Amino acid sequence: MAAALPADQLEHPDAQCLRDAQAQPVVEEGVLAPLVDALGLGHVEQAAAALALWVELDARLAAAVSLLQGNATRIGPGRPTLGLVASLAACIADDTPLSPAQAMSRMLQGAALASGLLQLSEAQQLAHARTVQMPASIVAWLASPEPARHATPLGRLLMRPLAEPRWPVPAAWSQAGDRLAGLMAASQGPCAVVLRGADAGELRGMAARVASAIGRTAFEIGGADDVQALSADAFAVLSAREGAVPALIAARGVPVWEAQAAPGSATRVPQLSHWSGPLIVLAGTDSAFETTLPLHEFELGMPGAQDRLALWSGLRELAPDGIAAADRDAIARSRCGISVLAQAAAHAQDGLAHAAIEEAVRSSARSLSAWAQVSSDRIPADAWVGPPDVHRELGLLLTRCLARSDAGEKLGPLLRGRLSQGVKALFIGASGTGKTLAAQWLADRLARPLVRVDLAAVVSKYIGETEKNLAQLLSRAEHLDAVLLFDEADSLFGARTDVKQANDRYANMQTNYLLQRLETFHGVAVLTSNSKARFDDAFLRRLDSVVQFPLPDVAERRTLWSLHLGEAPQVDASVMSAIAALVDLPGGHIRNAVLTASLLARQRAQETGADASLMADDLREALALEYRKLGQRAPDSL
């Protein structure tokens, strides 16, 4: 560079750093070696990269570059121009000296610019006048060996370093992570590692652990606005345009891409230009991928009882035998994901693990709000009213849910090998007969939240979106071990129809997928409907339980009235018995009538100043209104 100075500029103060033979660059040129090797940079590109890096960190060198470019007053750019880099080509040791035009051609067509390691200023300028710049993020990583701690913006991208999980990793996950790390280290070129699971936090933690095992940092690459995940094409194009690959090389990172794949379709794995290492893909359990790269996959399955106990004892700093017996049973029976269990362990009190797990599941269930609502109701054990045979069926269903982990332990190999750990039940009955109440009763006995699926949010007019929404909902519900309630389920899982037009064919394909996905569901799902005839026989065979909810008889209606009215209403027992005998409404309508009667009593008290106690006349008027709402006439003898 000193040789390129005009003779009249040799004594200029800004040229001193070029004349000083003992002067050393602020950053050794060796830090560029990984980039040089990975990108295959030529000598001209190496010199341009070194110069672009140094001027960002050394003000004296930046002033000297301005001087070289004819700006002795430092008004011009401190960054080198493409013309300066080309003019220095003759000073670069190479087998074949290059002319400035050849050097400029190599720069314009080389990997340094194509990968984003170097960037040029405005395209409106002449080529030789365009300045060469290294992105600030790459400068920062090359200038300091410290690991990244914060997200780094790269134009329209954001690189987020992922942290290893703070909770003990299940043994199966640890073994798989070591296997994947070995495959990644042994790979001679680019490869894809697909991690599947329902929880994004667990997937990111596992990605960080796998990358750490080969001495790298996992960086999730997404849009800077973080509104939605990048498609495969957008991920590849923006990574090349914004310099993600050289940034990853400088930071000793591994790229992580979150795929949003729809069930039933194969998603293409993106290939990053100039990247020769592994790409970690985070995906749901129903995703399929196509790629020409070597593909390695692992699904983060549900941890076993021993893994859950080990996690609890590790986070609570207890000896394995130091967990209370009640807590040990609650932890062993819980089937929520490892991250939810870790959240529970962080806030639990000794002897109250079941309460901490229930609260952690209920809190995490709010993540399902895009497709469902978490019920806040609580049903006491003795508050559900129905025939003895329905009580027995519900009790058997509860036992089946509690025994999901070991129901087939002592049975034959044929049954044990095919027994699903999920429980699916169908509640059939007229409106108001207590189907939803029974689902809530079941969820409360399991100490799990009841999540009511919003069919309007799940079902989409766009092809493939309904399956995608349902797949995400079921995967998250499995991970949380929440109880799913599909009200009016025949609208989703109804019987297939004869194909008369293209829409019928798609509707049947959608129903087929929903039935198959529900069959592999490992959680607890309750479906309700008014009619059993609306379902395929094949679907009914897949269910663990089908419970019929009949209309209540006189004795049951009397009990329902008592449970809804509560303490000491101003109504004679004979009147209540008559109402129970004459009014053949199910429990849902009895609830409505009692609520209306209480409001009538309150309104009467406000108007007359009388006692606000509920009277028989209030009940009669409320029942008349309820019958009118149904389009019927109340019994004359009422």
For the segment 291-312, the average pLDDT, to the nearest whole number, is 88
Can you give the pLDDT at residue 22?
55
Percentage of residues in the chain having pLDDT higher than 70: 88
Which residues, including other chains, have CB under 8 Å from residue 460's CB and lie 6 or more apart? Answer: 466, 469
Mean pLDDT check: name the lowest of 90-99, 214-223, 241-250: 90-99
Place of tokens 């007019």: 461
Run of H or E residues at 192: strand 191-196
Q: How many CB atoms lie within 10 A of CB 303?
A: 23
pTM for the model stands at 0.81
Rounded Cα distance, 75 and 206, in Å: 51
For the record, the structure tokens of 259 come out as 């795929």
Report the pLDDT value the prediction gives residue 485, as an integer from 0 to 100.
Answer: 93
pLDDT at site 508? 62
**Residue 414: which pLDDT band, with cuts at 50, 70 and 90?**
low
User: Can you give the pLDDT at residue 101?
Assistant: 87
Nearest partner of 198 among 481, 510, 420, judged by Cα: 481
- Select the more confidently predicted residue: 16 or 80: 80
Sole residue written with tokens 């400088």: 250
Tell me the two tokens of residue 91.
């000073």
- Residues in a beta bridge with 154: 157
pLDDT value, residue 520: 82
Q: Is the pLDDT of residue 496 over 70?
A: no
Torsion sign over Cα 494, 499, 504, 506: positive
Pairwise CA distance, residues 548 & 213, whole Å? 55
The CA angle 404-410-415, to the nearest 5 degrees, is 70
Cross-strand bridge partners of residue 619: none
Give the model's pLDDT for residue 79: 86
Nearest one of 444, 435, 515, 428 to 482, comparing CA atoms = 444
The first and second tokens of residue 513, run together, are 């997928």
What DSSP line would sit under 579-591, residue for residue? HHHH----HHHHH
What b/e sequence results for 587-613 when a residue is b if at least 16 CB atoms lie within 10 Å of its CB, and e otherwise?
A: bbbbbbbbebbbebbeebeeeeeeeee
Return the pLDDT at 297: 93
Picking from 309, 373, 365, the residue whose alpha carbon sits closest to that of residue 341 is 309
Structure token pair of residue 25: 């660059």
Q: Parallel, antiparallel, or unpaired for β 423-429 and 372-374?
A: unpaired
Q: Which domains are seen in the chain, by residue range?
A: 2-143 (no CATH), 152-299 (3.40.50), 305-368 (no CATH), 388-549 (3.40.50.300), 554-629 (1.10.8.60)
5-9, 243-247, 569-573, range with the lowest pLDDT: 5-9
pLDDT exceeds cutoff 80 at 123: no
Banded pLDDT at 402 (limits 50, 70, 90):
confident
Please report how the helices 338-347 and 305-315 are oriented relative to each other, as an axis angle in degrees rounded to 10: 40
pLDDT of residue 17: 61
pLDDT tens digit sequence for 137-151: 899 888 887 777 888
Residue 97 has pLDDT above 60, yes or no: yes
Q: Degrees (nearest 5) of the Cα angle 31, 99, 37?
A: 25
225-247 confidence digits (pLDDT tens): 764 578 888 999 999 889 999 99
* DSSP secondary structure code for residue 404 in this structure: T
In DSSP terms, 545 is beta-bridged to 425
Place of tokens 């019920």: 375
Angle at alpha carbon of residue 586, lines to 556 and 449, rounded to 5°: 90
Closest CA to 199 of 448, 472, 519: 472
Average pLDDT, the chain: 84
